[in-house]
Structure 1
Amino acid sequence: MARLLGLWWSSAARGRMLGRPVGHSPGLWHRVARPVLCPARAVGNKARDAQHVALRAADPGKEAFRNDRRPTNFDKKVLVWAGRFKKEEDIPKHISSDVLDAARNVVRIKVCYIMIALTVLGCLTMVITGKEAAKKDQTLLRVNIEKKAKWRAEAEKDQEAAVGKPQ
């Protein structure tokens, strides 16, 4: 059927086309319409699922750690700082990748908040010190004028010393 209608009639397109009239659910295609309209695929999925269950029953330990990983010391610190565990000793030997990703996202957000706070604090500090310097008349213009006057005075002294020395 998909070959007759072209490439645009993908499973996502079928899901949108059939899901909208009935409850606005694009997932309706995969749950209801696909097994009815494409029974061979539904049987294949059921057979594949049955085979997967049989393999899982034969070797239960193999499937258990497929998405799990052993956390590093940095991962343990991230998990504790994110609030997933109270202490590093409470962390199990294997952690799901989803748990670790969620903890990293929480820590990333906390670091962003800290950086925002430090930026606002730095801006306020610069405004306060700038106003204090303006009250004391220590503007950049005055500092540059004083610095150039000092350089001119040093240059004049060097010229007088050079003219005053007989060779």
Structure 2
Amino acid sequence: MLGRVLESKRLVTRILRTPGFWRYPRTKEAPTLLQTRRILCNKAEDTRNVISQTAIPGRSAFRNDRRPSAFDKKILLWAGRFKKEEDIPALLSPEVIKAATSRVRIKACYASIALTLLGCLVMILSGKQAAKRDDTLLRKNMEKKAKWRAEVETDLEAAAAKAQ
């Protein structure tokens, strides 16, 4: 359908017959011609007037504040944004809550890094102490297998004693 419209002779002739198309192809007067045509289209001004009438005075028109939940309040406190829960306003912008969650996420990452390093140090120290006591996995495994063999031998002797 669009192809038919574009191929139609009416559209081409309308473009060629527009007043500024042939008269002002590349002159300084062409922008003024376009500006005079834009004056007739004042939708942007109408929307600004409607927005200014409906918006709360002293606030921006497109601000989308929201009420923080209990978890959001905890995050805001953990992030250090507010000192007490009573200091948190009833409405907050999403940017404030997002910044606080990012800060808490970073703190949690640092805590996990610190706990991982602490765990590695504990494992290194316990491994060194076990090596001093000669408490290796190989030795533990051999002791366990020897214990199992002894249990099997005692069971076989008990079964042989019952059979006689």
- Cα displacement (A) at 1:102: 0.5
Corresponding position of 1:72: 69
Runs of 4+ in 1 over 6 A off after TM superposition: none
Q: Deviations over 1:44-97 (max 9, x none)?
A: 9x9454334312221123965742111100000000111111111110111100
Corresponding position of 1:138: 135
Structure scoring higher RCO (CA < 8 A, sep ≥ 6) equals 2
| Larger Rg computed on CA atoms | 2
- Cα displacement (A) at 1:132: 0.2
Using the alignment, how far apart are the partners of 2:153 and 2:100 within structure 1? Answer: 66
- Alignment length (residue pairs): 127
Q: Deviations over 1:95-154 (max 9, x none)?
A: 100110000000000000000000000000000000000000000000000000001100
Task: Tell whether the 8 Å contact from 1:75 to 1:100 is kept in structure 2 after alignment.
Answer: yes
1:86 aligns with 2:114: no
Using the alignment, how far apart are the partners of 2:47 and 2:127 within structure 1? Answer: 69
Select 1:105's aligned residue among 102, 106, 109: 102
Amino acid at match of 1:132: Q
Select 1:125's aligned residue among 106, 122, 125: 122
Corresponding position of 1:59: 54
Task: Tell whether the 8 Å contact from 1:56 to 1:63 is kept in structure 2 after alignment.
Answer: no
Structure 1: 5+ residue runs without aligned partners? Answer: 1-35
Call closer, same or farther: CA 1:106–1:118 in 2, change over 3 Å. same
Amino acid at match of 2:81: R
Amino acid at match of 2:45: A
Task: Tell whether the 8 Å contact from 1:68 to 1:97 is kept in structure 2 after alignment.
Answer: yes
TM-score (norm 2): 0.70
Using the alignment, how far apart are the partners of 1:145 and 1:104 within structure 2? Answer: 52
Amino acid at match of 2:48: V
Call closer, same or farther: CA 1:54–1:158 in 2, change over 3 Å. same
SS state at 1:71 partner: coil
Using the alignment, how far apart are the partners of 1:125 and 1:83 within structure 2? Answer: 32
Structure 2: 5+ residue runs without aligned partners? Answer: 1-30
Task: Tell whether the 8 Å contact from 2:67 to 2:90 is kept in structure 1 after alignment.
Answer: yes
